């Protein structure tokens, strides 16, 4: 599963993000952080209901996907009123704004492709298959 073709996009996600960050301007790096935060928030909030149900069934706590962690994820420094004001005051040229929008779109597409890949993999492979290959 880890090294197969069916998880290629998921596997390349981090290295692609690293390349984006390496070549990015300071504003683009900030955009990368915001897109990553938005993606994480969406994921954790979507997963929370499933995790809560799983915790009830298994009587186990899933620390990194539970309500406490979701609460921590939503309280980053970029979400403070002071930082939101600083962000609102950043001036961009039209070309910088266009590049920023394209970067955000590209990163959201990367995550969408990776999650679609994992969904497809989960639909064609059972938990038993994964456990047997571990």
Query: What mean pLDDT comes out for the span 20-31?
Result: 92
User: Tokens in use for 27?
Assistant: 């504003």
- What's the pLDDT tens digit per position in 42-72? 887 888 888 888 888 889 887 766 666 555 5
Highest mean pLDDT among 16-25, 43-52, 77-86: 16-25
Cα separations in angstroms, 74 against 37, 94, 133: 9, 30, 36
According to the model, what pLDDT value does residue 134 have?
46
CB 104, CB 17: distance < 8 Å? no
According to the model, what pLDDT value does residue 54 have?
84
**Domain boundaries, given as residue ranges, for the chain:** 11-133
Please list, in sequence order, all residues whose beta carbon lies within 8 angstroms of the beta carbon of residue 119, skipping any fewer than 6 positions away: none
Residue 130 confidence class, pLDDT cut points 50, 70, 90: very low
User: Residue 59 region, left (φ>0) first, then alpha (ψ -120 to 50), else beta?
Assistant: left
- What's the pLDDT tens digit per position in 98-127? 999 999 999 999 999 999 998 888 888 765
User: Tokens in use for 130?
Assistant: 């994964």
Residue 75 confidence class, pLDDT cut points 50, 70, 90: low
Task: Look over the chain and give the mean of its residue pLDDT values, rounded to a whole number.
Answer: 82
* pLDDT above 80 (res 40): yes
* pTM summary value: 0.74
- How many Cα atoms sit within 13 Å of 130 on the Cβ side? 10
Instruction: Tell which wins on pLDDT, 24 or 52.
Output: 24
């Amino acid at each position: 599963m880890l090294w197969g073709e069916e998880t290629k996009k998921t596997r390349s996600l981090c290295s692609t993000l690293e390349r984006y960050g390496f070549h990015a301007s300071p504003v683009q790096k900030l955009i990368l952080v915001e897109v990553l935060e938005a993606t994480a928030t969406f994921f954790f909030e979507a997963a929370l209901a499933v995790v809560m149900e799983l915790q009830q069934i298994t009587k186990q706590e899933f620390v990194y996907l539970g309500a406490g962690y979701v609460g921590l994820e939503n309280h980053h420094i970029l979400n403070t009123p002071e930082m939101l004001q600083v962000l609102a005051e950043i001036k961009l040229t039209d070309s910088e704004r266009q590049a920023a929008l394209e970067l955000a779109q590209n990163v959201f597409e990367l995550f969408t492709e990776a999650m679609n890949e994992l969904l497809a993999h989960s639909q064609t492979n059972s938990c038993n298959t994964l456990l047997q290959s571990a």
